[in-house]
Amino acid sequence: MEVAFLVSQRSSCTHRKVGAVIVKDKRILATGYNQPPSRFPHCDEIGCIRDDLGISSGEHQEVCYGLHAEQNALMQAAKFGIRTDNASIYVTHQPCSVCARLVINAGIKKVIYRNPYPDSLTKLFFEKSKIETFIMG
């Protein structure tokens, strides 16, 4: 979890810095943090579209310049051909329901996070898909 918090410091998000680390057999496979796509201006440079539109946290996750930490970690694994079947993911914050679906389809079996996130659908996805979740205190 400490590595996830360290990775989160790379984020340029003006609201919430999130880090994710995918681990299997006690080895780090990939990391990610919330950030806009490569070569796109960062939110701390151009401002937050969510603020501009008055969108509350946990709502309309698709309206954001940035990708979530879990998305970036999964894309990093895919880009370098790293399998995530039966892996675990450590995330500084509870995944949103969009990321929960990606985590499930990536074959990740365990999600460990520290901070809550206002998306109640995540719990349903993880329960029905038999994904183990742990909240680290």
Which residues are part of a known binding site for Zn(2+)?
A: 68, 96, 99
Q: List alpha helices for the chain, DSSP H.
A: 2-8, 43-46, 49-53, 69-79, 97-105, 121-128
Of 32, 16, 8, 136, the residue nearest 84 (C-alpha): 32
What is residue 19's DSSP assignment? E
Binding residues: 68, 96, 99
- Catalytic center residues: 70
